[in-house]
Structure 1
Amino acid sequence: MPARDEITYFGAGPASLPTTVLQNASSAILNFQNTGLGLAEHSHRSALSHGILASTESSLRTLLSIPEDYTVLFMQGGGTTQFSAVVYNLLGYWARMDYVVTGGWSQKGSEEARRLFGEEKVNVVTDSRKVFGRYCGIEEEKGWKRTEGEERVFTYYCDNETVDGVEFPGFPRSLEGGVVVADMSSNILSRRVDVSKFHVIFAGAQKNIGITGLTIVVLKSSILQIQPTPGTLRALGLPVPPVMMSYPSLAKHNSLYNTLPIFDVWIAGEVMKELVAAGGLAKQEEVANRKAERLYAALGRAPGIFKVVPLEGARSRMNICVRAHPAELEGVFLRGAEERGLLGLKGHRSVGGIRISNYNSITEASVDKLVQYIDEFVQKNA
């Protein structure tokens, strides 16, 4: 049985966590702060739990420089639940929805919006599959077909597509000043973000923040004040959101409308504290970029064997998607990687191939180990 330090897990999620956080968690789950109870056993309404919520939110606000007029919510249901929650909370005021579809997750978000509110409410601004034949890039913004003549519209995009390895290099210029929603589930806390450009940012925790079971939502507080009443929604022929998806309801109760998994919040807080102590997102962005550059450089040294799937300019720093040629080499590469303790490199089941997830918990030493294996593999199979 291998020791933990002999394994590097490059899986796309649930992702690996810092060993120090897990070591602290192992004692916290048995006896938290000498209370005689494990953290998972404490009431979510206790002073202890309220302290964890406040501390975690404080770290998040520090890392993202969240403005005071923004609210932080801790929710459940993962990013997928937010596909529904976003439209439930926004469509009563903003009458139309623009979706930028650049991969599988934004595609699913747009499909859920159509399912709930109908085709006539949803406009696909761009669909990368129609532009490039597959999800491998982001169309130039001058080609986007945004809703015109309607001020009450919000735009939704996924900042990083884990399945397809496509990431926005920065905030889309054409969306400046608009009402913007972003799914940052797989690249949040990996680089600096100007939160003030967004009305809603959401992220499932299990990539860069913590463990499965927690979703973080950062939203402009003014949204909470302009929500139509259930009676108004019914008069407009719009559905009333389930209470567990209602941003105002959760904000009113400090994310504690029901039993929140405080252990999950604490894990996220511990991860965030380490990021703050290490220099914040300016430092983490530098590290993430450096790791990604090393990996892309190694793959680029063997164009006859490895082909990076996404186009340059849209390549993700977090999820590096590759195909090997001939295709049989993919299995050979994956088996060899496992023998070296490099796990989780198989591509998503919908697209196959190889996927290297370069989340914050992946150290530079682990990247160097993988780069060395890539170089050795190329020399052996060239």
Structure 2
Amino acid sequence: MKQVFNFNAGPAALPKEVLQQAQQEMLNFKDSGISVMEHSHRGKLYESVHEEAKTLLKELLSIPDSYEVLFLQGGASLQFAMLPMNFLKQGELAGFITTGAWSEKARNEAAKIGATEEIVSGKEQNYTTIPALPSFAEDRYKYVHVTSNNTIFGTQWENFNAISHPFLIADMSSDILSRKIPVEKFGIIYAGAQKNLGPAGVTVVILRKDLLQQANKDLPAILSYETHVKNRSLYNTPPTFSIYLLHLVLQWVKSLGGLDAIEKKNEEKAAFIYEAIDHSNGFYSGHATKDSRSLMNITFTLPNEDLTKTFLAEAEQRGFIGLAGHRSVGGCRASTYNAVPMEACKALRNFMDEFYLNYGN
């Protein structure tokens, strides 16, 4: 089979070992004679996958017992609307820390439901950096929303020490499970699975249980977090195959040594590519400032559009997939999620060095 290096931003690379196990079990899951996709979501075999996936996620992320783990559909984009529908009542204000396009979309959706305010934005700097957070009165906002990693622009919060609010919400779609996070600092964490957790189709929501007391009770059942908590994410038919693959990914992460090992590996992978950028005498220009660089999405530009097209064309010939930047910003982007192997990052580093030697003078 042709060797490729998959740097797609999402849906993204899945661990080879996970895909091989899914392939082996595709037609006969647990000696049942049928695929996991054919099992009832109310049956014992699927329910064991469902519950073990929750248990593994709690273990790997050190999620306290005071939190619920939900597996929902609709992607993170549904959460943009579902969160204010559940928690933003008349006369209340939600605060948004805007660090990229997904932050903007989250605020725009919330503004259709309730009052919102931008606490700080990096837009004037073209989202090249995580902006310094001004002091603000916590009691002014019902909740505060932050995006932990910005897939399009390649910036990431190194830590969350500067943010303090009793009801902090984080969209962690593109860096969840890539490093240790202080779950107890957040009221809600949500993440589409298609970057580090598994395939597209399932969204993980980590919700502090006491918040349900504040939730709007006057919602359609499918849009209420309380519904999904009471029904263990089985209110309606869940995306069973996506959750099954998520379960396999979590097993894979655990087998590698958990988040300590994953975080170290991700730091090493990103370093290879950032070194190629930093040692190119400006031929490659990183979009993000060094203090805001993402470990998951490495964004950079070349001196002009013609060179960018040549770079991407030659990269494709060499087996590199998904290196074009997002259509809204152009340039290049290498997404180095958990399942992207070290080998791929070393190969990209070597290709970038070679391309610089050929075209940089």
Give yes or no for TM over 0.5: yes
- Output the CA distance in 2 between the equivalents of 1:327 and 1:199: 43
Change (3 A) 1:264 1:93: farther
Q: Deviations over 1:94-149 (max 9, x none)?
A: 921000000000010001111222xxx1010111113x2x111121123x6x4x37
3-state DSSP of counterpart to 1:361: coil
Shift of residue 178 of structure 1? 2.4
Q: Measure, in 2, the Cα distance between the counterparts of 1:176 and 1:279.
A: 31
Structure 2 CA distance, aligned partners of 1:217 and 1:299? 35
Distance 1:177 1:324 in 2: 40
Q: 1:248 and 2:226 equivalent?
A: yes
Residue 151 of structure 1 and its aligned partner are, at CA, apart by: 5.2
Aligned counterparts of 1:187 and 1:97: Cα–Cα separation in 2: 23
* Paired residue type of 1:191: R
Secondary structure (helix, strand or coil) at the match of 2:169 reads strand
Matching residue's letter, 1:163: I
The aligned residue for residue 236 of structure 1 is none
Q: TM-score, normalised by structure 1?
A: 0.91
1:39 aligns with 2:36: yes
SS, match of residue 150 in structure 1:
helix
Q: Is the 8 A contact 2:72 2:203 kept in 1?
A: yes
Q: Distance in 2 between matches of 1:58 and 1:320?
A: 32
CA-atom RMSD, angstroms?
Answer: 1.5
Match of 1:153 in 2: 142
1:130-149 superposed matches below 5 A: 130=124, 132=125, 134-142=126-134, 146=136, 148=137
Residue 164, structure 1, aligned to residue 153, structure 2: yes
Identical pairs, percent? 35
Task: Check if 1:129 corresponds to 2:123.
Answer: yes
1:152 shift after superposition: 5.2
Q: Structure 2: how far apart are the matches of 1:343 and 1:303?
A: 25
Report the Cα offset of residue 89 of structure 1. 1.6
Does the 8 Å contact 1:94/1:153 carry over to 2? Answer: no
Q: Is the 8 A contact 1:93 1:152 kept in 2?
A: no
Deviates more, 1:26-35 or 1:334-343: 26-35
Aligned residue in 1 for 2:289: 311
Given the superposition, is the C-alpha separation of residues 149 and 81 from structure 1 closer, same or farther in structure 2, using an over 3 Å criterion?
closer
1:126 maps to amino acid = V
The CA deviation at 1:28 is 2.4
Q: Does 1:183 align with 2:175?
A: no
Contact 2:144 2:165 in 1 (8 A): no
Structure 2 unaligned spans of 5+ = none
Cα deviation for residue 29 of structure 1 reads: 2.5
Question: What is the CA distance between 1:179 and its match in structure 2?
Answer: 1.1
Cα distance in 2 between the residues matched to 1:227 and 1:58: 25
Distance 1:271-1:159 versus aligned 2 partners, 3 A rule: same
- Counterparts of residues 109-124 of structure 1 (less than 5 Å): 109-117=106-114, 121-124=115-118
Kindly provide the CA deviation profile for residues 265-315 of structure 1, in whole angstroms up to 9, marking residues without a partner as x: 110011111111111101111111111111101111113311001112111
Q: How does 1:195-210 map to 2 (within 5 A)?
A: 195-210=183-198
Task: Work out whether residues 94 and 154 of structure 1, in 8 Å CA contact, stay in contact via their aligned partners in 2.
Answer: no
Q: Residue 272 of structure 1: which of 233, 250, 259 is its match?
A: 250
| Paired letter, 1:154 | Y
Whether the aligned pair in 2 keeps the contact of 1:128 and 1:136 (CA below 8 Å) is: yes
